[in-house]
Amino acid sequence: MQKYNFTPLALKGAFLIDCFSADDIRGGFCKIYEENIYKENGIEFSLSESFVSCSAQNVIRGLHFQLYHPQKKIVSVIEGSAWDVIVDIRKNSKTYLSYYSIELNEKNHRALYIPEGFAHGFLALEDNTQMLYLCDGKYEKENDSGIIYNDSKINIAWPIEEELTIHSERDLTLMSLAEYEQIYLNK
Q: What is the pLDDT of residues 7-64, one digit of tens each?
A: 999 999 999 999 988 888 888 888 999 999 999 999 999 999 999 999 999 999 999 9
The answer to whether 48 and 34 have CB atoms below 8 angstroms apart is no
Contacts of 109 (CB under 8 A, 6+ apart): 2, 18, 19, 20, 21, 30, 76
Q: What is the pLDDT of residues 166-178, one digit of tens each?
A: 999 999 999 999 9
pLDDT over 60 at 1, yes or no = no
pLDDT over 90 at 106, yes or no = yes
Catalytic residues: 64, 133
The answer to whether 121 and 147 have CB atoms below 8 angstroms apart is no
Percent of residues, the chain, with pLDDT higher than 70: 98
**What distance in Å separates the CA atoms of residue 187 and residue 185, rounded to the nearest whole number?**
6
Q: What per-residue confidence (pLDDT) applies to 2?
A: 66
**What distance in Å separates the CA atoms of residue 187 and residue 173, rounded to the nearest whole number?**
23
pLDDT over 90 at 158, yes or no = yes
Q: What is the mean pLDDT of the chain?
A: 94
Q: Which amino acid is at 48?
A: S
3-state SS of the chain is CECCEEEECCCCCCEEEECEEEEECCEEEEECCCHHHHHHCCCCCCCCEEEEEEECCCEEEEEEEECCCCCEEEEEEEECEEEEEEEECCCCCCCCCCEEEEEEECCCCEEEEECCCEEEEEEECCCCEEEEEEEECCCCHHHEEEECCCCCCCCCCCCCCHHHCECCHHHHCCECHHHHHHHHHCC
Burial of 102 (0-12, 13-18, 19+ CB in 10 A): middle
CATH 3.40.50.10490 fits 47-185, yes or no: no
The answer to whether 126 and 154 have CB atoms below 8 angstroms apart is no
Q: Which amino acid is at 77?
A: V
What is the pTM (predicted TM-score) of this model?
0.94
Q: What per-residue confidence (pLDDT) applies to 185?
A: 72
**What distance in Å separates the CA atoms of residue 58 and residue 65, rounded to the nearest whole number?**
21
pLDDT over 60 at 90, yes or no = yes
Q: What per-residue confidence (pLDDT) applies to 30?
A: 86
